[in-house]
Chains A and B, each alone.
Chain A
C-alpha cells in the first residue's frame, strides 16, 4: 500500500494537476485549515504541499530572504506552477503565513481569502470568534466564487475528511509498533493532495503497512516535513520513528468535528481550536507544550527526540530551547535539525542525528 501512496506523496504537484482536470482546486495554505469547507464550495480541496527546491524565482520577486521555505515554496507554486486554482485559502497564524494574502492578492488571478481564526485556545470567547471567523470566510469565498456553499456536500465532505483523519491518527499512533514511519508519512502527505475518497480507498486497503524496523526509538517533533525523503534519511541512519509531533502528522490529523445540534460550520470552526494537540502557533498556557511532549516521549518509550525546524520559522524556533530543556530534565536527549531548501537531511544534520543515535545505542 505504501507504494500506491508514494506517487502523490513524492510528486504532489502532479497529483494536484491530475485532480484539477475538471474542477479547479481550492488550495489551503495551512495543514490546519478545514478543507471540507473548500470541498463543499465545489472545489477540489487540498493542502498546499511542500515543494523543496534550490530556488523559487517567482516567489523571490515578492518575498524577502527571511521567509521559511514552506511559505516561499507555496507562493512560488501558486505563481508559477500553472495549477488551475479556483480559490486560495490562507489562515492566521505566524507572520509569514499572514503575509501571504497581501503578497498573492496583487499577483494571483485566483481570489485569496483569509480565515481569520483566533490564535488563542481554551476560552469560550475564542470558540465564538472561530465560529464567526469561519462564517465570514465562507461569505467572502462565496462572494469571490459567485456560488454558495452546498450544505449537503459539506456534511459529506466533513464525514469523509474526518474518516481520513481518524485513519491517519491510527497510523501515527501505531508508529514503531505496527506502522512504519514511511507508510504513515506517505499517507499523510498523499492525503494533503488526493481526494478523500481516493485516499480512503488506499487507506482501507488491508495490504502491508510498511516494513517494521529495529533501532533506537525516536520522537519526531516540528513543522510540516519537507518530503518523504526526509523520513527516509532519518530511518537510513538507523532510527525508528516511534512517535510524532509534527504539523504533517498527528497535529493535523487529531482534529475531530463534534456537532452539538447546531450549525455544522460552527462545529467545524470549533474543531480547529479544540484539537487535543496544538503546535506552537496557537497560544495556550506556556507549560502545556512541554508537558505534552515529555508525556508523549515517556508513553512511547522513545530514547531521543529529533526536532526539526525550518530556517526562519519563528514559532518552532521559539519553543525548541524550552522543550529541549524540559526533555533534558526527564533524561531524554534531543537534537535540532534545521531544514531549508533541501528535500532531505543536510549533511551536517545527518551527522548530528547519527551522533544522537549512537549515544542512544
Chain B
C-alpha cells in the first residue's frame, strides 16, 4: 500500500507557486521581499504587503535535494569557517553560485531577524543585509528560563511596533494595526490546525510520522498568516482523520513509538525514514515541528502586544528545564517508549544541554534516550552507518519497552 500522504503533491505545488508569486509580485507589483528567520513575526510584514522568504527553509530544501555538500564546500573555500551553521553556509553559497532548487533566488529588499530561535541568525542575516545593502530589522527577544517576564514582553513590544512602522514605510504603505490583527488571526488559525495535525499522531497506530511532519511544516513556517496555509492544513487534517477512520497507519505494524529532539537530518532524511519503517518504529512527535504549534498570538485589543508575547515564548528561547518539561510531555502524551536527541553540530541553541535533558527526561518518564551526532544540512558531518549503529540497540530497547 502507498503510505505517502496525498498532501505531498499539493505541498510541492504550494511551494512552487509561492516562489513564483514572490518573483512576479516583486517584479511587476513592486512588492518588497523580506528575507526572514523562521521565528520572525512575519505578521507585521504581511500586513503591509511585504512577501517573506525563509533562507532556513531554502537551505533545508538544498540539503534534502543533495546540493548541500558542494554548497558547503564553496563557503569553506571562500574563507568561512566550516564550523558555522550549515544552513548559513549552504544558503550563502547558493546566493554566490546561483545554484538553488528554486530556479533563482529573489533578492531581499530588507531582512527581518528575530533571535528567539538562536543567536546565529543575527550574525547570518547581518551578512545578508551587508551583501545586498538592505535594511536590517532586528527583534531582540530576551531568553528566559520560564515564561517571559512582563518587562521582556514590553521590550519586545516596543521594538516590534518600531519594526512594523519601518516595514510599512519600506513598503510605501500606511501603518495599519487592524491589518496586523487580521493576519495574526490567520496565523493563529493555521497554528491551531497545525497543532491538530501533529496531535493526530497520538492515535495508535499513528497516521503519519514526524518524518512527514518535517516536510509538512513548510507552510506553517513560510506561509504563516496567509489563507493558503489555513486551507492547506484544513485539507491535511481531513486526510489524516480519514486515515485514522480507515485504519491506515504510517508504520505497520507499529512496534514502538519514539520522540525526536532537534532539527531533522536533511541529507539522510529519506534513508532515516526508510530505516525507521523497516524497524517498524514510528517517530510520533518531535520538538522541532512542535515549535510552531504552541503560541497564542492573537490579542484582539493589542495585536502587537499579542505578537510580542508569542514570539518571546518559543521553545528555543527557554532554558533546559523547560525543554525537559516539553520533551517529557511529548513522550507521555504520545505514548512513546523512547526518545532520540539529535546532537546537531550546526545548532548549538538546540543541542547544548541535551545530555542533561536526556538524563532528566529518562528519570521523569522511564523512557529510553539516545543521543546521535549529526548535522542538519552538511553531509560531511553525517555518517549514516554510524547513525544506524547507534540506533540499532536503541530500537531493540524501545521495542522491548513499548507497552510500559
Contact = CB atoms under 8 A, between A and B. Distances in A.
Contacts of A92: 142-143
A55 interface: no
Nearest to B142: A116
Nearest to B124: A318
A201 interface: no
Interface string A297-324: 0000000000001011011011101101
A238 interface: no
Contact of A321 (B79, B120, B356): B79
A48 B138 CA distance: 30
Interface residues of B, number: 49
Most buried by B among A61, A114, A125, A319: A125
B129 interface: yes
Interface stretch (B17-25, B28-36, B253-261, B345-353): B345-353
B155 A126 contact: yes
Contacts of B122: 119, 283
A103 B155 contact: no
Given A66-B348, A93-B119, A119 B79 contact: no
A118 B156 CA distance: 10
B321 interface: yes
Given A61-B355, A132-B151, A67 B84 contact: no
B151 A129 contact: yes
Nearest to B318: A102
Contacts of B123: 280, 314-315, 318-319
Nearest to B317: A98
Most buried by A among B81, B127, B145: B81
Nearest to B356: A106
B195 interface: no
B348 A123 contact: no
B353 A102 contact: yes
Interface residues of A, number: 50
Contact of A96 (B124, B158, B348): B348
Given A103-B353, A118-B140, A322 B130 contact: yes
A114 B145 contact: yes
Interface string B198-221: 000000000000000000000000
B108 to A, nearest CB: 13
A64 interface: yes
A286 B130 contact: yes
A358 interface: no
Interface string B358-371: 01100000000000
Contacts of A103: 320, 352-353, 355-356
Interface in B126-155: 126-127, 129-130, 136, 138, 140, 142-145, 149, 151-152, 155
B343 interface: yes
B349 A95 contact: yes
Given A99-B353, A118-B140, A136 B149 contact: yes
Nearest to B92: A321
Contacts of A153: none
B319 A102 contact: yes
Nearest to B149: A136
Contacts of A281: 119
Contacts of A283: 122, 126, 138, 140
14 contacts: A62-B355, A64-B354, A92-B142, A95-B349, A95-B352, A103-B353, A106-B359, A119-B115, A119-B122, A126-B155, A132-B149, A287-B130, A312-B83, A318-B126
Task: Name the 8 nearest CB pairs between A and B, nearest first.
Answer: A102-B320, A99-B352, A318-B123, A132-B151, A95-B348, A129-B155, A125-B158, A120-B140
